[in-house]
Amino acid sequence: MAVLVHSLPYHHDSAKLFERVAHEPWAMFLDSGKMIDAKTGGAANPYGQYDLIVARPIETLVTKGSQTMIDDGTHQYVSSDDPFSLLNRVLSRYPAPALDVPFAGGAMGYFAYDLGRRLEKIADKNRPEPMPEMMVGIYDWAIVVDHCAKKTQFVSYGFSEKTKQDWASLCDFFTVEDVARTSTFEVCSDVVSNFTQLAYQQAFNRVAKYIQLGDCYQVNLAQRFSVKVQGDSWLAYKKLRAISPAPFMAFMQLPNADHALQILSNSPERFIQVLGRHVETRPIKGTRPRGVDLKQDLAHAKALQDSRKDQAENVMIVDLLRNDIGKSCEIGSVKVDQLFQLQSFANVHHLVSMITAKLNDSATVIDLLRGCFPGGSITGAPKVRAMQIIEELEPSRRGLYCGAIGYIGFDGNMDTNIAIRTAVVNNSELSYYAGGGIVADSTGEKEYLETLDKASTMRQLLKFFRK
């Protein structure tokens, strides 16, 4: 192992740098949503510090159903082993120390909600989404953009001989400004939901009955929206990050059968972060729309903060996550550091809590991820029963929605989002979901409207590209 570091010119907008590889298979952009104003040097958006760019993985893992295809560039083999265990096994071959950047190489990709079927007993009522349940690349280099220090570093642990051989040309490749491309993106149909309002109300009534009978306490019920599209999805993502920046955004360009698959994530929610042995999760529960003016906006925020229903919803998920995290963390280390903190985004206000813990010396970060997957904030409580009810009442499988997107570094650090406010472009269809947690005092009409509030950014995006 020979650590390689090269400084690249800093740019206030990391999307300009990612465009060098945006159309390559397995190119990924973990986007903090923070763009610096080029004129003032101040933050145009209020979110995170680091953006991460990767491409050209040295190994890939793709899980479809019971099989995972592992490709190291020379050999391919298929395994029916647990995908999390396979990823653990692959990463164990690349031990590395932590550097002064959040990610210098390792695993990056997505873990779809339906990967949870490998962990829990869930019926197979609905047809699967036409995409793998897991797509993860092993990357030997990364570009790290630090918006606070206003610097860009090209870093690698140098595990791959090819990386070392190509290092000079790679540095040149990312130094030269990309040539502007002429491409288009178009929305070609009306948006269709898999629920009518009446059908949603009927499903809501079933959930309410389960809660009344004591079968569960909370269930996240979601509807799927879809629309026909054509053209360059990267253009759609650039517009998305401009109109509604969020702290855990992502764009992924991936191969899927005979066509490309793109992920456009606008997520506001951290799933699990691990730094050293420190574990953190920030579940979101409780939502109100932004107001049309300052007075209404403040009233909506205060109503959310004062809502006992939303606080109760939040506490249920905090308790669930405390239990999930505790499976892999030291006894007595799990703590709730924040409850019901107001966080405001372009289209909604949320209540966010924070739970921290210390990872057991005997556990890996992937053990932790597996023990918490999928995130409780978007299933319900108790988790397995909620997932069974979701499968019974929702007309479609969720695919990526409510899964996770993020990285697991060679150094053992990890950061992942909950894949909400996330669109998938697959075979000329763009699809996205919006849902909400139903509890004992929920009402069907309000819950239905909440799903529309959460989908408002995607509606705004699609309206911009309508033919």
Using CA atoms, how far apart are residues 23 and 19, in angstroms rounded to an integer? 8
CB neighbours (10 Å) of residue 8?
A: 16
118 vs 181: CA distance, rounded Å:
42
Q: In the chain, how many H helices and how many E strands? A: 11, 25
Q: E-strand spans in 91-130?
A: 106-111
User: Residues 269, 313, 394, 450: which is the catalytic one?
Assistant: 269
Phi-psi region of 160 (alpha: psi -120 to 50; beta: other; left: phi over 0): beta
Exposed, middle or buried, 82 (CB in 10 Å: 0-12/13-18/19+)?
middle
The C-alpha atoms of residue 141 and residue 163 are separated, in whole angstroms, by: 8
* 386 to 215, 317, 336, 400, 450: CA distances (angstroms): 9, 12, 23, 17, 19
Which helix (H) or strand (E) segment holds residue 6: the answer is strand 4-8
Cα–Cα distance for residue pair 166/454, rounded to 1 Å: 44
Is 269 a catalytic site residue?
yes
Query: Residue 120 corresponds to which amino acid?
Result: E
What helix, strand, coil percent values describe the chain, rounded to 5? 30, 35, 35
Query: Beta 348-358 vs 414-418: how paired, if at all?
Result: unpaired
3-state SS, residue 297:
helix
- Please give the Cα distance from 379 to 317 (Å, whole number): 9
Alpha carbon dihedral 119, 122, 226, 418, in 10-degree steps, equals: -30
Catalytic member of 19, 34, 238, 285: 285
- Between the CA of residue 223 and those of 193, 203, 239, 305, 452, what are the distances in Å? 7, 11, 24, 26, 9
- Is 285 catalytic? The answer is yes
Q: How far is CA 242 from the centre of its chain?
A: 18
CA–CA dist 33, 147 (Å, integer): 11
Backbone phi and psi for residue 335, each to the nearest 5 degrees, phi listed first: -135, 145
In DSSP terms, 288 is beta-bridged to 349
Catalytic residues: 269, 285
